[in-house]
Amino acid sequence: MDMADEDGAYKRKRAEETEENEAGDAFREKRLNLEVEKQENDNKETKQEKDGRNGTQMETISVPKGGLVGSYAQREAWLRKQEEQGELRFVVIQNDKTMQNMKWLVGLKGIFSRQLPNMPKEYIVRLVLDRGHKSLVILKGMKVIGGITYRPFYKQNFGEIAFCAVTSQEQVRGYGTRLMNKLKEYCKSEGLTHFLTYADNNAVGYFAKQGFTKEIYFEREKWVGYIKDYDGGTLMECALRNSLFFSDFPEIIRRQREAVDGKVREMSNSHVVLPGLACFKDPTIKKPIKIEDIPGVKEAGWVPETSPRYLLLLPGVGPVLPTKDKLHNFMRVVYKAIIEHEDAWPFIEPVRKEEVPDYYEIIKDPIHLTLIGTRISSEEYYINLEMFAADLKRMFNNCRIYNSPETPYVKCANRLEAFFEHKINSSVSIDDPGQEMRV
C-alpha cells in the first residue's frame, strides 16, 4: 500500500469514528430529553392527582418541555449526565513530566493551534508546557476535546486565562460553558477571587456570556505588571463569587423558577386553565355569548356596567341610550360618511400582497373599511362603540406604521381620522362634561 492509499484509509477511519461519536452523542441527548419529559409528565400527574383529592375541577397548565429548565440548563444537565456515566471528564493538569499529562498537553496544544490560527504556535507551546501554567482539559474517554490554559497568581488571588478552545467537531454543544464553570469552581477552591483575560474580537462574546465584563473592578495594584498586554485585545474580568456554585447552575435555576412560580400561584390563578367555549367547536352556532357566561371572567373581577358611559345625540331626536339597534344605526351612519369621504380611497379594500409583498410581514393585524362594514352588517361583532372606534384607529395606525409621513397615504389617514373623531365627538354625550369620548 502506497502513502496515498494509507492516507485515504486513515481519513476514512477518522470519518467513521466522527460519525460514530456524533451518533452516540445524539442518542444520549435524545435519551436525556426523554428522561426530562418523563419527569415533567410525572410531576404534572402528581399535581393533577393532588387537585383531584382536594376537589378541584380545574386543570393546571402543564409545564412545556424545558419550561422550568431552559435550553442552557438542558445542555448543562446533558453534560452532567455524561460526567456521571463516565463518558466525560474534566481534569486539571500541568507539566509535571508525567507521560500521560504530557500527552494530554500536546493534544491540547494542537487544539489551540487549530482553533486560534492568529496565535503564534511557538507562543502556544511555550505557555501550555510552562510549569507556571495549569490547564483544565475535557476528556472524552482518553482523548482531549478542549481545554483552558491559565496562570494562577496565588498571592494576588487571581488567574490569567491564556487560551480557551474546543475542537471544531465538538462545538455548539455547551462544552465551552461547562468548561468555564468547572474552572471557576476549581479556582475558587484554590483561593482565587478573579479571572482576567485579554479577549480578541471573536472571543469577547463568549467571555461576556460566561460572566466576564469590560469594566475592571479588581484592584489595579494586584495585577498591573503581572499579566502581559496584548495589542488589539480587550481586557475582561470575572469575579468568582463564593456564594455561587458554578458547576450546578441547572439546579439553581430550577429552584429559583420553582420559587417564583410558587409565589405567582399564591398571588393569582394564572396557572389555572378553565374549560373552553363549546360554541367554537360547532360552526353552526351563531348565537352571541354573554360576557358573564365566559368561564373565568367573573373570577377575574369583571362586573357589568350599571349604565352606559355616554348617550348618542341623534339628529331630530336628541340624547338617547345606546341600545343595540340605535348603536348599530349610528355606526352605519358614521361608516357611510367615512367611506364616502374623499380621503377614504386607500382604505376601502385590503392591501394586495402582489403589489406590496412585505406589507403583511410588517403589519401583523391588518384591517380595512370593507371588513369593518361587514362587521357592522353582522350586528354581532361590535357590541359597543369602543370596538368600532378601535378598528378604525388601528386602520389609521397601520397606515402610519408602514408608510412614510410625507406619502399621500399618511396624509389621507390623518385627514380621515380627524373627520372621524369630529363625527364621534359631535354625536356623543359623555356623563362627565369635562371628558371627551376616547376614540
Positions marked active-site: 160
Cα 213 versus chain centre, distance? 22
Q: Are 271 and 60 spatial neighbours (Cβ–Cβ below 8 Å)?
A: yes
- Beta-sheet pairing, 158-166 with 143-153: antiparallel
How crowded is residue 197: how many other Cβ atoms within 10 Å of its Cβ?
23
Q: Are 437 and 422 spatial neighbours (Cβ–Cβ below 8 Å)?
A: no
SS3 label, residue 98? coil
**Strand-by-strand arrangement of the 234-239 sheet:** 88-93, 134-140, 143-153, 158-166, 194-199, 234-239
Integer Cα distance of 43 and 39 in angstroms: 6
Instruction: Write 321-330 long-range contacts (CB < 8 A, 24+).
Output: 322/384, 322/385, 324/379, 327/382, 327/384, 327/385, 328/376, 328/379, 328/382, 330/385, 330/427
Integer Cα distance of 402 and 367 in angstroms: 13
